[in-house]
Structure 1
Amino acid sequence: MNKQSCTQIWVDADACPNVIKEVLFRAAERTQTPVTLVANQPIRTPPSRIIRSLCVPAGFDVADNEIVRRIAPGDLVITADIPLAAEALDKGAAALNPRGERYTEATIKERLTLRDFMDTMRASGVQTGGPAALNQRDRQQFAAELDKWLLEKSRRPA
């Protein structure tokens, strides 16, 4: 059995770009790593015994809370949500955003502080704009970081 069989990838799927989901689907099949997409609406997945979707009720942070409830140390969470990434790290999981940035204990506090600052700015009426559109470089960076994580997992004892 594959050493990665006990490791799972959890996807905060409501806001995850389709092109990133496709990268995940190919990697899951190639490495036989289970992937679960969690969202508050039905998400289409390819026919697969290791790729599934989990539909949760609509509501603030319902999908995030379900991911936090289910993740285990060593799992990977795909999310652009900084608080969810922080909770994943606290539970011993890894976290990667759709642009290929791996969250770490060293960077997550700074990211939370910046997020809170931007929330305060928006609440006071400042137009901060949103993130830039996902580009080819972002997709390549995501695929490279995902492959790096999968390789790390394959080298660890089961």
Structure 2
Amino acid sequence: MAYKFIVWIDGDSCPKKVKDFLFNYSKSKSFLINVVANRKVELPTDNPFINLIIVENLKDAADNHIFDNSSLNDIVVTRDILFAQRLVEKKVTVMNDRGLIFNKDNIQDRLREREFSMNLSAIGFGGGKNNYYGEKEIKKFIAVFEREFQTHVMNEIYNIKL
């Protein structure tokens, strides 16, 4: 059974471990993934459920494409907090690659943390982002994604709007 909802991946910054998991999971569960990026992204050739959408190499082009084409029951995976805020306002399920589901209750805190970090960087403190992505991070992402996926499946089966 193929599901109606789509998983959108902000492909320009998504870690390979996350993409690999999602690609394998989509094949086993028969759901569509749209990877949106401003450049070619390596995709498996044996998975009919994955589409690559290449957008112009302009600021926020991938984000804008996903925003304009995603719907209420879709899931978006992105690291971009400003983009996540737009999706939360649109009521689209959005999560980052570390398993955090953004929502109206936590997005403002994340925006304040982002601004604080940027201010520290601007005055010469901090600036080093934690880009480490290991087993702990991927395991948390997988657990949260699988739970969210099952919620979307049940909502689709029972025709519930998220």
Calculate the TM-score normalised by the size of structure 1.
Answer: 0.92
Aligned 8 A contact 1:79 1:97 in 2: yes
| Residue ranges of structure 2 left out of the alignment (5+ in a row) | none
Give secondary structure in 2 for the equivalent of 1:142. helix
- Residue 145 (structure 2) aligns with: 146
Name the CA distance, whole Å, in 1 between partners of 2:123 and 2:58. 25
Partner of 2:87: 88
Alignment match, 2:55: 56
Partner of 1:149: helix, strand, or coil?
helix
- Aligned residue pairs total 156
Structure 1, unmatched stretches of 5+, are: none
Letter in 1 for 2:87: A
Q: Match for 1:62: what amino acid?
A: A
Mapped to 2, the partners of 1:46 and 1:32 lie a distance apart of 15
More divergent stretch after superposition (27-36 vs 122-131): 122-131
Instruction: Give 1:116 shift.
Output: 1.9
Matching of residues 38-49 of structure 1 within 5 Å: 38-47=36-45, 48-49=47-48
Once the two structures are overlaid, the 10-residue window that deviates more, 146-155 or 114-123, is 114-123
Aligned to 2:11: 13
Matched letter for residue 61 of structure 1: D
What is the Cα-based RMSD across aligned positions, in Å? 1.4
Distance 1:119 1:69 in 2: 28
Provide TM-score, normalisation by structure 2. Answer: 0.89
Q: Is the 8 A contact 1:71 1:91 kept in 2?
A: no
Identity across matched positions, percent: 26
Report the CA distance between 1:101 and its aligned residue: 1.4
